[in-house]
Amino acid sequence: MSVPRPLRSLRNRLTLIFALIVFGAIGIVYFYVTPRLEEQLVQQKLTRLAASASRESELIKDEITSHDQKRIEADTNAAVTFALDASASMDFGSGPVTKFTYGRMLVAALAWLSQRQGDRVGLVTFSGDLVEVVPPSTRHLRLILHTLGRARPGGAGQLRPMLERTASLTTRTGVTVVVSDCYEDPVAVQKGVGSLRGRGHDVILFHLLDPAERDLPGDGAATFEDAESGERLPLRPEALREKYQAQVAGHRAELARLLAQNGTDYVGLTTDQPLDVALHAYLEHRLATSRVR
């Protein structure tokens, strides 16, 4: 099945293969990343896959029932803004995919899906300051994909003030999708998201972690460096692993608890998970909010 031509802007040194798989009721966008092929092969693959979005939409409609089509499109014509954390900590990856690469692919997939539903889609990337702003529009999918393609992580992360600034940029209520590794105090994250909720936005937050950040693997002495501050810390992972894992789990649980208090959906993800986990969560969020309205 073909993919929109603008996805070729997401080229990098990994092999990025976009496949649309329809599982009975809903369309799910998968990105598979393989690190061994040359960039030229990536472009050749994407060129072969490229075709018009209108043909793709027709293929989707042929494979899902009218009932499920209505379910997917229950909340159309909304303004959906994707807020992607581009701080230096997002550049970490213990496997073939960094958190930032995973986040870019996730935002690209959700933006494409939202645009297919008739939503206006926009993008904000941020680190220590707002880096890129693409206002929501039904015509901005191509611009969003090109912006994601050239985006690079860097700088110190400040999630709360960036979410507050994102809230100030929006003049109409809609949906805000936040993608971040959330290396901040949960209360600060709650207050940042609260600025969006206070303006009437529905918010879903995808909390990205690398499996190594969750598990602290390895044995023997090692030195860990903070990607944003450069601070180094020598330690033995096996001596701290149990306590570390408990603290990470506690941080995630506290984020989920606090965000639930103001009606925000929290979805924890690791970069070794397939994207359908996130896409299912997004569609369920949209369905739930459309019922409320």
Q: Is pLDDT of 60 > 60?
A: no
Give the β-pairing of 232-235 and 175-180. Answer: unpaired
Check whether 224 has a pLDDT greater than 60: yes
CA distance 196 to 201: 6
Q: Tell how strand 3-4 and strand 50-51 pair up.
A: parallel
Contact 153, 91 (CB under 8 A): yes
pLDDT tens digit string along 121-144? 999 998 877 678 999 999 999 999
- State the Rg of the chain over Cα: 19
The helix or strand, by DSSP H or E, that contains position 152, with its residue range, turns out to be none
DSSP 176: E
Residue 218's pLDDT band, with cuts at 50, 70 and 90, is confident
Domain-wise residue ranges, the chain: 77-292
For residue 202, what pLDDT is reported? Answer: 93
Tell me: the pLDDT tens digits for 73-131? Answer: 444 578 999 999 999 999 999 988 999 999 999 999 899 889 888 899 999 998 877 67
Beta bridge partners of 132: 125
Name the 3-class secondary structure at 74.
Answer: coil
Let me know the angle formed at the C-alpha of 124 by 189 and 181, rounded to the nearest 5 degrees. Answer: 40
Between the ranges 9-13, 66-70, 212-216, where is the mean pLDDT highest? 212-216
Give the pair of three-digit tokens for residue 190.
């709650």
Neighbours of 83 (CB within 10 A): 26
> 134, 180, 176: which is closest to 153 by C-alpha?
180
Residues in the chain: 293
- A 10 A CB-CB count for 188 gives 16
pLDDT at 241 > cutoff 70: yes
Residue 164 has a pLDDT of 87
Distance CA 275, CA 31 (A): 7
The mean per-residue pLDDT over the stretch 261-279 comes to 91
Confidence of residue 274 (pLDDT cuts 50, 70, 90): confident
**Rounded to whole angstroms, what are the CA distances from 79 to 43, 117, 255, 264, 286?**
31, 11, 25, 17, 12
**Range with the poorest average pLDDT among 152-166, 221-235, 268-282:** 221-235
Decide: helix, strand or coil at residue 64.
Answer: coil
Can you tell me the mean pLDDT for 144-171? 86
* Structure confidence at residue 277 (pLDDT): 82
Q: For residue 232, what pLDDT band results from cuts at 50, 70 and 90?
A: confident
Residue type (1 letter), 152: R
Top-confidence residue, 166 or 206: 206
Q: Out of 56-60, 245-249, 256-260, pick the least confident.
A: 56-60
182 burial (CB, 10 Å; 0-12 / 13-18 / 19+) is buried
CA distance 79 to 74: 14
In this prediction, what percent of the chain has a pLDDT beyond 70? 70
Higher-confidence position of 253 and 285: 253
> Amino acid letter at 58?
E
The answer to whether 87 touches 178, Cβ cutoff 8 Å, is no
Structure-token match 């979410």, residue found: 163
The fold adopted by the segment(s) 77-292 is Rossmann fold (3.40.50)
Tell me the Ramachandran region of residue 121: left when phi exceeds 0, alpha when psi lies from -120 to 50, beta otherwise: beta
End-to-end distance of the chain based on CA atoms, in angstroms?
A: 34
Q: Residue 270's pLDDT is what?
A: 95
Q: Quick count: other Cβ atoms within 10 Å of Cβ 97? A: 19
Give the pLDDT of residue 161.
87
